[in-house]
Amino acid sequence: MTAPSPSSDRLSGPPPRHPRLRLAVALDGTGWHPASWREPDARPAELLTPGYWADLVAEAEAGLVDLVTIEDSLSLQTEDPLARSAHTGQSGQVADGRTDRVRGRLDAVLVASRIAPLTRQIGLIPTAVVTHTEPFHLSKAIATLDYVSTGRAGVRVQVAPRRRDAALLGRREFPQLAYDGLATPAGQQLLRDSFDEAADYVEVLRRLWDSWEDDAEIRDVATGRFIDRDKLHYIDFEGRWFSVKGPSITPRPPQGQPVVAALAHQSVPFELVGRAADLGFVTPADTAGIGPILDEIRAAQEAAGRSAETVHVFGDVLVVLDDSEQAALDRLARLDDAAGPDFAGLASDALVFAGTPAGLADLLAEWHAAGLSGFRLRPAVLPDDLRRITRELVPELRRRGLFHDRYEADTLRGLLGLPRPANRYATV
């Protein structure tokens, strides 16, 4: 499967807010293709070691990539997360029953915290499942990551309203739905509730990060005062899903507000991006699909009273890169063959691009002109496709004047051109 050739047509609408595009790399296991772990340069035996992740992020930083995301989940990875398992008769209680795929992963927030001191300027956005975790715990974990990274932290909030995820914790129940059930009224209500809950979750995170004013810590030995108690605030959040008094036990993070990101495929999650996130990852199939996505996100942003704020929208693309388009297609076919006789080709929620770095640059330039401010590239194979991104795509983008030649800020918010927000509880 390959991307369509870029067209000379351009969508109407405002140009990108930033003259250069921004670039993220999505790190997941040995890569986004299920057969990636079998490749000669893959390091499947090292997936649970810090050195593996340190090497990947170091490569991304050497290529001046703005940020990396680190995938995570509560239950085991599966290629069919909502379908009934043929092996168990149950909904994915042991994933999809396969034994020829990468299964098992480290906690993304802890991986990011381990890698942060080894990096200097690249942003770090781990994934966190918010459907089954507490915002108080995540708020201090991400605040800690922001301190450890000296201001380069973010978090991608992910919903998981699945029965098999809930069974791991035993605190909630969800109806059993297959993919076709998501289009039913019950399925749409489940999605609506899940993303409304995620929006409240993000609001609690932000309030907790603000619950300490920036100068709440005095540390005055002479007077014996370590903090100014008047500058710690209850957040008193009351909602359908959470009742959180606060304050946090962690002082306000260096960025004030670490970057909040979300992946969105349809209208309900588009609303979450517009109303609550700083950065959205979307999955258009072609250039024509970008405008309607942006329209929905901007409408939600305006409805939430955030029209004056910058909300970045990055396009996700899964990439298989090689010296020629045919070589990339052959490589993808070889990976598909290695995935097994029952593998029907790489099923991806994002566009799969198989081609050259220059061809990918053409596509990114067109999508950037259509309004996307950046891209999150998913390497099919690690480290192979990551190296193609950093050592071939990035120089090509730079030659076209579309990418920076140095890091332009020391914080993730700075790299994204986002201001450090004022504390909502601070008195003038």
Per-residue model confidence (pLDDT) at position 95? 55
Q: For residue 202, which of 150, 262, 283 has the smallest C-alpha distance?
A: 262
pTM of the complete model: 0.91
pLDDT in tens, 115-168: 999 999 999 999 999 999 999 999 999 999 999 999 999 999 999 888 888 888
Contact indicator for 4, 358 with CB cutoff of 8 Å: no
What stretch of H or E contains 378?
strand 374-379
pLDDT in tens, 354-393: 999 999 999 999 999 999 999 999 999 999 999 999 999 9
> Residue 303: CB partners within 8 Å, gap ≥ 6?
274, 275
Residue 230 in tokens = 């008047």
Helix ranges, 116-261 (H): 135-148, 163-169, 185-210
**Domains of the chain: which residue ranges?**
23-174+259-317+378-415
Buried b vs exposed e over 44-78: b needs ≥16 C-beta within 10 Å?
eeebeeeebbbbbbebbbebbbbbbbbbbbbbbbb
Domain 23-174+259-317+378-415 sits in which CATH superfamily?
Luciferase-like domain (3.20.20.30)
Tally of CB atoms within 10 A around 83: 14
Per-residue model confidence (pLDDT) at position 84? 42
Sole residue written with tokens 């730079």: 398
Per-residue model confidence (pLDDT) at position 375? 98
Sole residue written with tokens 């509730």: 193
